[in-house]
Amino acid sequence: MNMEAVLPQECERARARASQALDCELSQLERAHLRSHLDGCESCAAFVAELREVTHELRAAPLPPPSLHSLRFSHPVQETHGRSE
């Protein structure tokens, strides 16, 4: 499969999926679509690799001691995290 001209829209979709995938919100089928896009799109593959690193750092970062209150909301909330870019 050689996709020389990848539609930017497809790239945006792939990147949105990538962030969802990191939150385990994608179905197997959606993940398969994402992977097939990444196979043919170097820039998205790089984007996802970077996204994974950032996400890993965020999750590995020291958090305030868990309280009963925060434990109830341990599932990551869908919102922007004030990225500097």
* Residue ranges in contact with Zn ion by CB under 5 A: 6, 11, 41, 44
Smallest distance, Å, CB 9 to Zn ion? 10
Decide whether 25 or 39 has the Cβ nearer to Zn ion: 39
For every residue of 5-58, DSSP letters joined together read S--HHHHHHHHHHHHHHHTT-S-HHHHHHHHHHHHH-HHHHHHHHHHHHHHHHH
Query: Which is nearer to Zn ion, 11 or 26 (by Cβ)?
Result: 11
- How many beta carbons lie within 10 A of that of residue 36, not counting itself? 13
Least gap, CB of 47 to Zn ion (angstroms)? 8
Q: Quick one: which of 78, 17, 27, 26 has its CA closest to 51?
A: 17
Nearest distance in Å: CB 30, Zn ion: 15
Name the residue nearer to Zn ion (CB basis): 22 or 41: 41
